[in-house]
């Protein structure tokens, strides 16, 4: 990487574009408490969240490290210190097929005030984020999105899907393996220490997972630890230890009471992380055999969840699929060389990118070990595709045949699928 996020100046292209409309794009210094308070209130407003208390604001400021906080300000407003648009970004490793990881520009907190819509602010912000990532030498950008109609125009595309589950617990009799370890009820503080190494084991083995530190707000939010988390008092924590006592998985969940019938509670599973098949089986069996529970709901689960195959009634589990992680390739060579491939061979890709970051014709050569070399070439392409399609293919969760049917690529689809498929379905277990 050629620079640090906090060391880069503001993107001048977007700065000039917004200045022509009387707006100012600037980087916020989180050491300026008043400015950060105004920024966080604007971000909460954008996501329709309650206005945060001073205690919540100060606590959240303590999590900031090298996060790059950007905003757009309108000096003509009665309160010009409050930004009319926000973003926050940082560098995080994204696990790719084969277990390698690519440093990736994680973008979050993208909001525009309803008073300033349709003025090109979101475009200026997002294009600035992409140029910043390129300046940092990062091959990819990523985000989890609240609105799925916005980001495709900037080259992002869904690369990791997820399933939302609803389980009729009384029909879901356990028929799966009997795990040899034990499940223990633990505190949030205990799991904060014991659970993060499990998260890291799973992240390293699962494409689509995003690295976050043990001190990150992304971890503490799962545990209900940040100040002002109204959900925290309802959370329960279960840890699975394998037969020799080593923690190997955990579940975080809460109960929702049915006011008409105390035996009809809903168990809402927030997180289940298992580093071994035994931990997976042990935790799910523990949840499915919970008394006074009629329904278990679990959002943001992997698309290849094996639970249905471990219970007596396959139809006790209902599921729906949704997009989750969106990625955007910026450097084709670095992105494609960061992962391994399922089949050896050579394929030439012509990439269309309206923003020009990834445009060009590229030869991907994969050896017998699955390692890749990518070079720019003048050879005739075997496949023509958009940068959106390449971004979806890259993480291994979307097939080339599906993208061909959608009109996003043409050419030698069979060879493309054979090379890019992943034996492990990608999964992103968090929002950011």
Residue-wise pLDDT tens digits, 189-234: 999 999 999 999 999 999 999 999 999 999 999 999 999 888 889 9
Q: Could you tell me if 240 and 183 are in contact, meaning their C-beta atoms sit under 8 angstroms apart? A: yes
- Single residue among 304, 323, 342 that ends a domain in this structure: 323
- Single residue among 323, 352, 385 that ends a domain in this structure: 323
- Single residue among 155, 188, 208 that ends a domain in this structure: 155
Residue 427 lies in a domain: no
Listed in order, strand segments (DSSP E) in 171-218 are 182-185
Q: Could you tell me if 67 and 138 are in contact, meaning their C-beta atoms sit under 8 angstroms apart? A: no
Q: Which residues of the chain have pLDDT under 70?
A: 1-2
Q: What is the pLDDT of residue 1?
A: 54
Based on the fold, state whether residues 139 and 110 are members of the same structural domain.
yes
Q: What is the pLDDT of residue 106?
A: 99
Residue among 330, 234, 247 at smallest CA distance from 283: 247
Based on the fold, state whether residues 111 and 215 are members of the same structural domain.
no
Q: Nearest-5° angle of CA 118, CA 27, CA 12? A: 70
Q: Nearest-5° angle of CA 329, CA 334, CA 340? A: 95
Helix, strand, coil % in the chain, rounded to nearest 5:
30, 30, 40
Token pair of 97 as six digits: 């097929």
Q: Where are the alpha helices (DSSP H) in 260-362?
A: 277-288, 332-337
Based on the fold, state whether residues 40 and 59 are members of the same structural domain.
yes
| 386/380 Cα distance (integer angstroms) | 16
Residue 428 lies in a domain: no
Based on the fold, state whether residues 365 and 287 are members of the same structural domain.
no
Q: Quick one: residue 125, left, alpha or beta (phi over 0 = left, psi -120 to 50 = alpha)?
A: alpha
Annotated catalytic, 212? no
Residue among 60, 56, 163, 150 at smallest CA distance from 107: 150
Q: Could you tell me if 183 and 238 are in contact, meaning their C-beta atoms sit under 8 angstroms apart? A: yes
Q: What is the pLDDT of residue 231?
A: 83
Residue 5 lies in a domain: no
Q: What is the pLDDT of residue 291?
A: 96
Token pair of 322 as six digits: 């949704």
- The pTM assigned to this predicted structure is 0.95
Based on the fold, state whether residues 137 and 274 are members of the same structural domain.
no
Residue 6 lies in a domain: no
Q: What is the pLDDT of residue 98?
A: 96
Count Cβ neighbours within 10 Å for each residue of 163-186 and write b for 16 or more, e otherwise. bebebebeebeeebeebebebeeb
Based on the fold, state whether residues 190 and 338 are members of the same structural domain.
no
Based on the fold, state whether residues 317 and 203 are members of the same structural domain.
yes
Dihedral angle over CA of 207, 213, 217, 222, nearest 10:
60
Q: Could you tell me if 337 and 304 are in contact, meaning their C-beta atoms sit under 8 angstroms apart? A: no
Residue 1 lies in a domain: no
Q: Could you tell me if 133 and 3 are in contact, meaning their C-beta atoms sit under 8 angstroms apart? A: no
| Pairing of β 236-241 and β 409-411 | unpaired
Total domains in the chain come to 3
Based on the fold, state whether residues 186 and 304 are members of the same structural domain.
yes
Dihedral angle over CA of 341, 344, 350, 351, nearest 10:
0
Based on the fold, state whether residues 374 and 276 are members of the same structural domain.
no
Domain hosting 72: range is 12-155
Determine which one of 36, 151, 156, 357 is catalytic: 151
Determine which one of 156, 420, 427, 432 is catalytic: 432
Based on the fold, state whether residues 295 and 374 are members of the same structural domain.
no
Annotated catalytic, 357? no
């Amino acid at each position: 990487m050629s620079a640090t996020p906090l060391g880069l100046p503001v993107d001048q292209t977007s700065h000039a574009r917004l200045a022509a409309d009387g707006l100012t794009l600037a980087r916020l210094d989180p050491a300026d408490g008043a400015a950060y308070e105004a920024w966080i209130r604007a971000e909460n407003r954008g996501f329709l969240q309650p206005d945060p208390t001073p205690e919540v604001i100060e606590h959240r400021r303590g999590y900031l490290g090298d996060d790059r906080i950007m905003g757009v300000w309108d000096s003509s407003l009665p309160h010009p210190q409050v930004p009319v648009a926000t973003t926050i970004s940082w560098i995080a490793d994204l696990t790719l097929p084969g277990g390698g990881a690519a440093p990736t520009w994680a973008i979050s907190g993208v909001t525009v005030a309803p008073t300033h819509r349709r003025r090109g602010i979101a475009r200026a912000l997002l294009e600035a984020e992409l140029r910043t990532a390129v300046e940092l030498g990062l091959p990819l950008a990523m985000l989890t999105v609240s609105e799925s109609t916005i980001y495709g125009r900037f080259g992002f595309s869904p690369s990791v899907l997820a399933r939302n589950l609803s389980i009729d617990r009384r029909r879901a009799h356990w028929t799966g393996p009997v795990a040899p370890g034990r499940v223990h009820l633990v505190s949030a503080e205990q799991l904060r220490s014991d659970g993060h190494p499990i998260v890291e084991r799973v992240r390293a083995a699962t494409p689509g997972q995003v690295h976050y530190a043990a001190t990150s707000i992304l971890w503490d939010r799962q545990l209900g630890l940040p100040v002002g988390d109204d959900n925290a008092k309802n959370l329960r924590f279960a840890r699975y230890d394998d037969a020799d006592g080593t923690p190997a998985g955990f579940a975080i969940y809460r109960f929702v009471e049915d006011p008409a019938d105390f035996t009809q509670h809903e168990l809402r599973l927030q997180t289940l992380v298992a580093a071994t098949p035994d931990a997976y089986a042990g935790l799910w069996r523990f949840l499915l055999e919970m008394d006074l529970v009629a329904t278990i709901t679990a959002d943001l689960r992997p698309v290849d969840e094996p639970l249905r195959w471990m219970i007596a009634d396959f139809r006790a589990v209902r599921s729906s699929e949704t997009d989750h992680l969106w990625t955007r390739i910026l450097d084709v060579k670095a992105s494609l060389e960061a992962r391994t491939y399922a089949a050896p061979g050579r394929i030439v890709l012509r990439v269309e990118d309206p923003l020009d970051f990834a445009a060009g014709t590229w030869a991907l050569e994969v050896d017998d070990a699955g390692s890749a070399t990518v070079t720019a070439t003048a050879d005739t392409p075997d496949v023509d595709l958009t940068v959106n399609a390449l971004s979806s293919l890259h993480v291994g969760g979307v097939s080339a045949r599906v993208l061909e049917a959608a009109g996003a690529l043409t050419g030698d689809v069979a060879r493309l699928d054979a090379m890019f498929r992943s034996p492990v379905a990608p999964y992103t277990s968090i929002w950011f």
